[in-house]
C-alpha cells in the first residue's frame, strides 16, 4: 500500500503538513516555503524530536541556539530537540525546505494534531535577530502566545474531563 500526493510549491503557504494526504504514521514532515525576505518571528524547540532541514531551493539562514547557519540549496542540517531554532529567507526567491523527523512512540499526543509529532514548544518571547525591535512582530507574537495559551488550556480541560 502507498499514498501519493502532489504539491505545487508555488502555491504552498509558509508551512504545510503532508501528514494526512500521505497517511504518515512514522515520519514527521513539514514543507517550508518562505517567501523572499521573510522569516520566523519566534524560535521553537521540541521535547523529543530531532529535525533535519533539507534545503531544496533558495538561500537563507537557520538560527540554532545562538549560531547563525547559512543555507543554500543542497544543504542538510540536523538540529537536536532542545536547541532553539528559527529560519530566515535571505534571498530573492522562495526558500523551500523539507523538514523531517522521526516519530517517538506515543505521538501524536493529540489525535487531531496538524503534525504527526506534536511536541513543538514555541517561544513567542524569543525574537530572532532579524526581527529584533520590530514592534509589529512583538505585537503579532503576543497574539500568537495568547492563542496558544488558550488552546493549551482547552486541551488540559478536555483531558481532565475525558475518562481514561
Give the pLDDT of residue 49: 87
Instruction: Give the count of beta carbons closer than 10 Å to the beta carbon of residue 93.
Output: 11
Give the pLDDT of residue 116: 65
CATH of domain 9-161: 2.60.120.10
pTM: 0.88
Q: Categorise residue 34: left if φ over 0, alpha if ψ from -120 to 50, beta otherwise.
A: beta
Q: For 29-52, write each residue's pLDDT tens digit.
A: 999 999 999 999 999 999 888 999
Give the pLDDT of residue 161: 74
Q: What residues does each domain of the chain span?
A: 9-161
Amino acid at each position: 500500500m502507498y499514498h501519493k500526493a502532489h504539491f505545487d510549491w508555488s502555491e504552498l503557504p509558509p508551512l504545510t503538513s503532508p501528514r494526512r494526504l500521505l497517511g504518515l504514521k512514522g515520519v514527521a514532515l513539514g514543507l517550508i516555503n518562505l517567501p523572499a525576505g521573510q522569516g520566523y518571528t519566534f524560535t521553537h524547540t521540541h521535547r523529543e524530536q530531532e529535525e533535519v532541514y533539507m534545503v531544496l531551493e533558495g538561500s537563507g539562514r537557520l538560527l540554532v541556539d545562538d549560531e547563525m547557519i547559512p543555507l543554500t540549496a543542497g544543504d542538510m542540517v540536523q538540529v537536536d530537540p532542545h536547541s532553539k531554532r528559527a529560519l530566515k529567507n535571505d534571498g530573492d526567491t522562495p526558500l523551500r525546505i523539507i523538514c523531517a523527523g522521526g516519530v517517538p512512540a506515543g505521538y501524536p499526543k493529540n489525535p487531531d494534531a496538524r503534525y504527526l509529532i506534536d511536541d513543538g514548544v514555541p517561544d513567542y518571547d524569543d525574537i530572532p535577530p532579524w526581527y529584533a525591535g520590530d514592534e509589529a512582530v512583538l505585537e503579532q507574537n503576543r497574539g500568537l502566545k495568547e492563542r496558544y495559551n488558550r488552546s493549551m488550556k482547552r486541551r488540559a480541560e478536555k483531558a481532565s474531563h475525558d475518562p481514561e
